[in-house]
Chains A and B, each alone.
Chain A
Amino acid sequence: MPKPHRKADGVSHFPPDIALPVAGHSYLGGASLSRLDEFLQLQEQIRTRYQAKTDDALYVGMGTCGLAAGSGEVFRFLRSYLKERAPHVQLVPVGCIGLDEEEVLVDVQLGGKERYSYGRMDIDRTRKVIDRHVLEGKPVEEWLVGIIPEPAKPYPDLPFYRYQQRYVFCRSGFINPERIEDYIAWGGYAALVRALRDMTPEEVIEAISQAGLRGRGGAGFPTGRKWELARKSPGEPKYVVCNADEGDPGAFMDRSLLEGDPHGVLEGLIIGAYAIGAAHGFFYVRAEYPLAIRRLKIAINQARRFGLLGDDILGTGFAFDVTIKEGAGAFVCGEETALMASIMGKRGMPHPRPPYPAAKGLWEQPTNINNVETWANVPLIIDRGVHQFCAYGNENNRGTKLFAITGKTATTGLAEVPLGMSLHTIIFKLAGGVRRGRFKAVQIGGPSGGCLPEDKLSTPVDYDALTKVGAMMGSGGMVVLNEETCMVDLARFFTSFNRNESCGKCTPCREGTLRMLEILEQLTTQGGSLEDLAKLEGLGQTMRLTSLCGLGQTAPNPVLSTLTYFQDEYLAHLEGRCPAGVCFGGVKERKEEALWASP
């Protein structure tokens, strides 16, 4: 029996006694860089040094996913054990590589060659891996999960990776997220240098527009256009914001990015600020992500020391700095107007738009908000070119998208796929299909997304197609369900989440989510009548059409989509029957307990 993958948001702490080396090797002697060419020289030095590396190295997955599975303990053990047995081996803590269910992952790389990944490690197993593989040169097949011949193509033998296109997620799992030198060695901050040196702000915006990058927070608004509006909007100072309030249960893309590659996001924000003309930026990170916040703080401090933030960035005269604002656990604060209210110290509640943030955002000034993944795309587009970005995806949906795949698939974890890949490919090829029983539905887009049945699996994963079938891209949560899941109960579960997270401002959402939940509670415990279904439908439509913000407008999606695609299950419930055997005191777990835990 494979060990269940568990999400660990809000429970995992970075073990306090593990002090990761913070930019252990300083090229600067503490002095801030003031000139661009000095930075270029430094970049060259670092790259040369890293390319020449032929050390033996051990990588330990130290994202929240790894730490929750016990990688802190393994890391501590390794530190002392290596000192004793193999002091020449470098120990590198890395972020999530996506293979969450195999954590704790310990990778062995000898002589700068391919990386052997060992899964589900504990201290005993790790000791054996060191003894046999590192010291004797014999890989331990028993716990081997896969091999990474080169970073660009991890685990070619694993279907989970074969279908992926690692673009945004290209560094996480490979670099030490707490060392800016690692990031620079992997091409980091080259895009910023290019933007500052070779491009006007307008040209940066033009590149982003040409690439056709759309907001990865879920709504898919063209990023270039958004920037242009903010740039043209009168008012000083302007602000940029990184929305890292990833609130969907089952979504952990942004967290993994911030934990595994914080500089990639920061660089995007700096470039965006340059393009828009912003003087200050905010990272709005949910407080449930302490490790992401910690790594982001380290990244920001390093960037300041390297002259990449501050009054005169790399001597170009461009001034920009950032502040981290921790969210206080409200789902609605991912909505941009609520998020801004929260940054300003007010209660995080949405406000009608217009005015849009581009016109009147933080402190009534032009403000541009993008989510973590959007920002992370920016340096890659600038550095590697529009062309490479556009090589992925389809018309109007360019690039890749990160998904957190959970539920009843054979493999769960974090995957980056080109936009436009079909749901079927993702679920049945990439994730290996359903683990037990028959596929029933996929819930995409988080608690406000929709549930799609088997006959919709040919739908390409892109903004427009998903909306058309009643789901939505959302931020990238994907929950796969099998026959053991009752769709009415699932709708009840998501509605319960929405009811709890409604900010309470507008009538349809505040009152509607409760009434919806009450009807669903009744359907799953006592049955009901056709009138109840009509009421659900009518109420859902009103919420969708009249709510103030996206949360309220999409809150009925789980109900409306299951009513559309799984009507027969609802009809069965009217008569007191639950086909999945979950409701009416059925033996199987209801959703609160079961959803995120694989069987």
Chain B
Amino acid sequence: MGITLTIDGQQTQVPEGTTIFNAARELGITVPHLCYHPMLSVIGACRLCIVEVEGLGALPASCSTPVREGMVVATESPRVIEARRQILDLLLANHPEDCLTCEKTGDCRLQAYAYKYGVKRSSYQGDVKHYDADENNPFFIRDHNKCILCGRCVYMCAEKVGANVYTFAYRGFETKIAAGLDTGLENSPCIFCGNCISVCPTGALQPKLIRGQGRVFDVDKVQTVCPYCGVGCAISLQINQGKIIGAVGANGPANNNLLCVKGRFGWDFIQHRDRLKEPLVRKGGELVPVSWDEALSYAAARLLAIKDKYGPGALGGLSSAKCTNEENYLFQKFIRLVLGTNNVDHCARLCHASTITGLSYAFGSGAATNSIAELEEAELILVVGSNTLEAHPVIGFWLHQAQRRGATLIVIDPRRTDLAEKADLFLQLAPGTDVALYLGMMHVIVGEGLHDREFIEERCEGFPELAAILPDYPPAKVAAMTGVPPEDIIKAARLYASSKRATILYAMGITQHTSGTANVASLANLAMLTGNVGRPSTGIYPLRGQNNVQGACDMGALPDYLPGYQRVAKEEVRALFEEKWGRPLPHDRGLTVLEMMEAARAGKIRAMYIMGENPVLSDPDMAGTEAALEKLDFLIVQDIFPTETTRYAHVVLPGASFAEKDGTFTNTERRIQRIRKAIEPVGESLPDWQIISKLSARMGYPMEYPSAAAVMDEIASVTPIYGGVSYDRLGDRGLQWPCPHRDHPGTKFLHHERFAGGKGRLAVVRPQVPAEVPDDEYPFILSTGRHLYHYHTGTMSRRSYGLETFRPEAYVEVNPGTAADLGIEEGELVAVATRRGEIVLKALITDRVGPRVLFIPFHYREAPANLLTNPARDPKAQIPELKVCAARLTKIRQVEEPLQEVVYTT
């Protein structure tokens, strides 16, 4: 049953409750508007979308007026036009007439409507507001003089982002949009995601970097994927004459047009002066520029010589979670076929190795079970060991939206993160006590009969064994182990188990432990026990840290897997690849990242090829990594910037950035998405896949691909889960693997009706103590991680104007009580030492951390957190325990001086 009405002479039928605005839009009539936005709820402020309805005296706003049976609507009647002119006249009366120099010219809705209705200038000559622009932040400007108070930014921030930075402040003509308590954006809770900019209809909100660089009519847009974290947000790069001048959100499935501060403002590293523009070869101790020919010939010769002398086992390679699928595929192929070894790994080892071991054991697949968009329908979301709002901000926005719709949010974390502050229930556990906590929750679930017997019976094995140990973990005992009050354990267990659509998100807080595999398996246990897997809006999401860490794993940049998680150890698998690739494959188990470093220190690995990684800063025990690299006979580093690792290189090869090449990234929800070349490679740099091909050719194995698309075609032919993937199918929304053939639509969620590995396996895991626990000498627990404004080792983000200007300095989070005990003041320099080293940095006093816990972001080369971390590893996953080690904190009694920027000599 619909409602029939007439709009501008056209009869139409729409469902009851449709607004006039939307009914008109369906007829192809867009009613002029300034405040209405399809992403936001109705604001009703601008009044430009008024229409005339027969029989009604007033002119109702079409955005908020529902249709009625028999309504006759005119969207451009003389009365309507007159009223719109009046409204535009009023707006222009208090709006600068600087369209000639305004950044928004051509894209400004006010300008467009003034043009449409012929309002040349305002007829009023009265009061005009003159505000100082809010521009004390490096990201964007809020020019109140251009603000027409439509309210879109307020609603965007409140409804989609959840930062609630903006409000209408003051009254009447004095009304303005205030950030915080009208003390400027930089003093507000603003997270500078800039999503407000994307909905601003005028020039009131403008990114800083784009000023004077080009306006809408100068700009081309190329849609690609953000190169920062694993969420996989679609972005459009704005290009003017071969130069990137900005980035905006695009309508991708993971982000629905939203971006975080890094995605929107962190693109400018691409054109940073530090970019490697030509190959370098070390001559007389110095890296000097050479031709590609010389560099590649030299590299090929050295690799072959070392292989000849020491055998293929003396070679190894680190692939890159920042590079494309195609590049990872070719890299592992090169290492295996040309160098002849399985010594290939990448930084997934440091983040989600335990996810692969843990989830593969439980479900038969190590990937996220469900899709990001399914969070929308979740009833309960349990976030564990994930600082989502900082490390995966756009997923943080999804969580906010889910919560707004009524989803319950439980956060489990040793730190009281911003997400914990928003949670309905927050469990602040002691670092490294995860397994105990989940055993306690399972104790409650099984004890109270809240488990899903039917699901367990039909689809899982191992329940009796698991159930047998649960009596050992009553809430009271678990409370003593974890520091979480027993009633909260019970509450969390009941909430999770009684929700029909409960979902779990986790990140490094779970995986980077010596018990990482057990932690992951425990979460899988929770999901299986309650039947919260294999259905929409349930399951488990390991949040992937890098743009393509999922893809790098998928592509077999791992010592034990070929593309598509096919085991190297299996002869039939090898046979298949040998046939396709035409060369024999090594079958020894390869070395993982940290094993390679150990082998290098021991002189067993003599040469390495590192693509797009910076292990000196990213791996635990920096001194150990440096010693390993120092010892190598030959090191090739391929990157876009000089890094702490290129200092040890004999050959440095300049790669092209993500914006300068075609390819695909696979995001944290298994979605394979296209990245597209927006500009030419900087200097002489080349896309990594071309460099690998050229080097391979010089070593006797030609790799000839006309394009990245051709590489994907080959990937599809050897990788069943990518079997149906090709560039012509990917479009702007990509495909989620498994996608076994060309007619397959991709897979939204896994384990429907059957686990990938057949039966789900409940694991019997017991709590274990971290490798290093506090003692008298080192009384604190040190944890490391990310913050919002930087990314990984800072290679990219610290070369972004906005990000680096805003957060230039390292810090250690110290609990106020601890700070008081030690007499440490905010911003004061302190020393943090562990058994492996000591760094000096500023103290940030905050109750985000408990009294015995310290937290240091690992982005800063001036105070490298990984000088301190413990390389102790999970025996199954070989992942190091970056989240827990014993540390000492000392006040430094010196006059404070700014930390020195490290100057690169290359």
Binding site for B on A (CB under 8 A): 330, 347, 349, 351-354, 499-508, 510-515, 518, 535, 538-539, 542, 544-548, 553
Contact = CB atoms under 8 A, between A and B. Distances in A.
A502 B171 CA distance: 6
Contacts of B172: 499-504, 510, 513-514
A351 B123 CA distance: 29
Contacts of B57: 545
B175 A545 contact: no
A505 B168 contact: yes
Given A508-B87, A515-B93, 19 more contacts: A347-B168, A351-B44, A354-B66, A499-B172, A503-B175, A504-B168, A505-B149, A505-B151, A506-B45, A508-B90, A510-B173, A512-B90, A514-B173, A515-B124, A515-B126, A542-B82, A542-B87, A546-B61, A546-B87
A517 B151 CA distance: 25
Nearest to A511: B90
10 contacts: A347-B168, A499-B173, A502-B175, A503-B172, A504-B171, A505-B175, A506-B46, A510-B175, A514-B173, A547-B47
B45 A507 contact: yes
A545 B58 contact: yes
A292 B44 CA distance: 34
A538 B149 contact: no
Contact of B126 (A501, A502, A518): A518
A46 to B, nearest CB: 48
Q: Which of B45, B58, B94 has the most CB of A within 10 A?
A: B45
A76 to B, nearest CB: 40
A505 B175 CA distance: 8
Contact of A354 (B64, B87, B171): B64
Contacts of A542: 82-83, 86-87
B59 interface: yes
Given A502-B171, A514-B127, A538 B45 contact: no
B216 interface: no
Given A351-B44, A514-B126, A548-B47, A507 B91 contact: yes
Contacts of B179: none
B171 A330 contact: yes
B83 to A, nearest CB: 5
A544 B44 CA distance: 15
B45 A548 contact: yes
Contacts of B87: 507-508, 542, 546
B42 interface: yes
B448 interface: no
A177 to B, nearest CB: 33
B91 A511 contact: yes
A431 to B, nearest CB: 33
Nearest to B176: A504
Contacts of B171: 330, 500-504
A512 B86 CA distance: 9
Interface string B114-151: 00000000011011000000000000000000001101
Contacts of B705: none
Nearest to A508: B47
Interface string B161-174: 00000011011111
Nearest to B124: A515
B782 interface: no
Contacts of A500: 171-172
B840 interface: no
Q: Which of B42, B87, B123, B167 has the most CB of A within 10 A?
A: B87
A520 to B, nearest CB: 11
A546 B47 contact: yes
Contact of A504 (B79, B83, B86, B175): B175
Nearest to B123: A535
B640 interface: no
Interface string B43-58: 0111110100000011
B45 A511 contact: no
A330 B61 CA distance: 25
B61 A352 contact: yes
A545 B123 contact: no
A544 B86 CA distance: 12
Contacts of A504: 149, 168, 170-175
Contacts of A508: 47, 86-87, 90
A352 B20 CA distance: 14
Contacts of B44: 351-352, 505-506, 548
A507 B46 CA distance: 5
Contacts of A353: 64
A545 B84 CA distance: 11
Nearest to A553: B58
Given A330-B171, A506-B47, A511-B173, A538 B86 contact: yes
Interface in B707-732: none
Contacts of B46: 506-507
A546 B83 contact: yes
Contacts of A330: 171
B59 A546 contact: yes
Contact of B45 (A354, A502, A505): A505
Q: Which of A500, A511, A514 has the most CB of B within 10 A?
A: A511
Nearest to B52: A545
A389 B116 CA distance: 56
Contacts of B151: 505
Contacts of B94: 511
Contact of B124 (A502, A506, A518, A553): A518
Contacts of B126: 514-515, 518
Contacts of B148: 507
Q: Which of A500, A501, A518, A542 has the most CB of B within 10 A?
A: A542
Contacts of A506: 44-47
B90 A515 contact: yes
A544 B173 contact: no
The 10 closest A-B pairs by CB, nearest first: A504-B175, A352-B64, A352-B44, A511-B90, A518-B126, A542-B86, A502-B172, A514-B173, A546-B47, A545-B59
Contacts of A510: 149, 172-173, 175
A500 B87 CA distance: 19
Nearest to A353: B64
A282 B247 CA distance: 48
A407 B63 CA distance: 43
Nearest to A549: B44
A337 to B, nearest CB: 10
A358 to B, nearest CB: 15
Contacts of A354: 64, 66
Interface in B255-301: none
A427 B46 CA distance: 41
Nearest to A522: B126
Contacts of A507: 45-48, 87, 90-91, 148-149
Contacts of B61: 352, 546, 548
A347 B48 CA distance: 23
Interface string B93-112: 11000000000000000000
A363 to B, nearest CB: 12
A538 B167 CA distance: 31
Contact of A539 (B47, B86, B170): B86
A511 B93 contact: yes
Q: Which of A507, A513, A514, A535 has the most CB of B within 10 A?
A: A507
A546 B46 CA distance: 10
A507 B93 CA distance: 11
A504 B149 CA distance: 8
A44 to B, nearest CB: 50
B168 A518 contact: no
B58 A544 contact: yes
Contacts of B45: 505-507, 548
A135 to B, nearest CB: 56
A205 B574 CA distance: 81
B149 A347 contact: no
A559 B137 CA distance: 45
Nearest to B64: A352
Interface string B487-524: 00000000000000000000000000000000000000
